[in-house]
């Protein structure tokens, strides 16, 4: 019953305009006799149907023409709104930039404070080793520093030929020489350099210093 009511109610607009087939119009009229709700709705639709009937369909095909000056008025209004809004946007941007800078400063200060407050690890222990000078005038001493990535050789001395490149290699238990770096001799002047090898301290048994001619000028056995 409700489905039939909904179906007939949907036909009220066409009925008011007189667009229903005779059989459908008869069904709607029969329904209206017993349905006060649909009669009330038809009473609201009827005035609109009368106005629609008076509309000339041919007049609806033309493209409406806007009133003169409408485009210029719209552009002027847009320009006025931009003049009013842009300064507000700039002020908002300046506020956001200032707040962002303040937040960044606070974060940086917190990071620095945290970095300064963190415990400083103790420096790794130094292991002094004896260095045997092979070349005349060479004097040298060294300390070893064990690292997780290898052993560091802190070499100090004098008498290495000035201007010549000297190469250092750490020797493993298997007799393999692994490069640890190089330095430039400065003659009788004191020299300090740090040399790094990928050989772990537990696997290192010594190192050699070789001059530009390939001759050993100093060595150490651990």
Same domain, 163 and 184: yes
Token look-up 């400083």 returns 120
Query: How many domains, the chain?
Result: 3
- Three-state DSSP at 209 gives strand
Same domain, 75 and 32: no
Structural domain for 94, as ranges? 70-120
This prediction has a pTM of 0.47
Sign of the Cα torsion 78, 83, 86, 91 reads: negative
Per residue of the chain (222 residues), give pLDDT as tens. Answer: 567 888 888 888 888 888 889 888 898 888 888 888 888 888 888 787 767 766 666 665 556 677 777 777 778 887 777 777 656 566 665 666 566 666 666 566 665 556 555 666 677 789 999 999 999 999 999 999 999 889 999 999 999 999 999 999 999 999 999 999 999 999 999 999 999 999 999 999 999 999 999 999 999 999
Q: What's 31's domain CATH number?
A: 1.10.10
Contact present, 185 and 166 (Cβ < 8 Å): yes
Same domain, 82 and 157: no
d(CA 53, CA 95): 61
Same domain, 105 and 132: no
């Amino acid at each position: 019953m409700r489905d039939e009511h909904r179906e007939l109610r949907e036909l009220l607009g066409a009925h008011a305009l007189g667009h229903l087939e005779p059989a459908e119009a008869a069904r709607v009229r029969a329904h209206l006799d017993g349905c006060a709700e649909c009669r009330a709705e038809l009473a609201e639709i009827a005035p609109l149907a009368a106005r629609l009937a008076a509309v000339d369909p041919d007049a609806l095909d033309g493209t409406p023409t806007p009133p003169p000056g409408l485009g210029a008025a719209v552009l002027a209004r847009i320009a006025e709104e931009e003049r009013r809004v842009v300064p507000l946007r700039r002020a908002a941007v300046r506020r956001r930039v200032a707040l962002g800078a303040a937040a960044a400063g606070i974060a940086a200060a917190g990071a620095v404070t945290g970095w300064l407050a963190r415990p400083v690890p103790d420096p790794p222990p130094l292991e002094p080793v004896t260095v045997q000078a092979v070349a005349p005038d060479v004097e040298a001493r060294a300390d070893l520093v064990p690292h997780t990535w290898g052993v560091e050789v802190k070499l100090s001395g004098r008498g290495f030929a000035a201007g010549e490149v000297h190469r250092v290699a750490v020797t493993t238990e298997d007799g393999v020489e692994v490069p640890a770096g190089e330095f430039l001799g400065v003659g009788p002047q004191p020299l300090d350099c740090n040399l790094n090898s990928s050989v772990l301290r537990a696997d290192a048994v010594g190192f050699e210093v070789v001059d530009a001619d390939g001759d050993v000028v100093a060595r150490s056995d651990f």
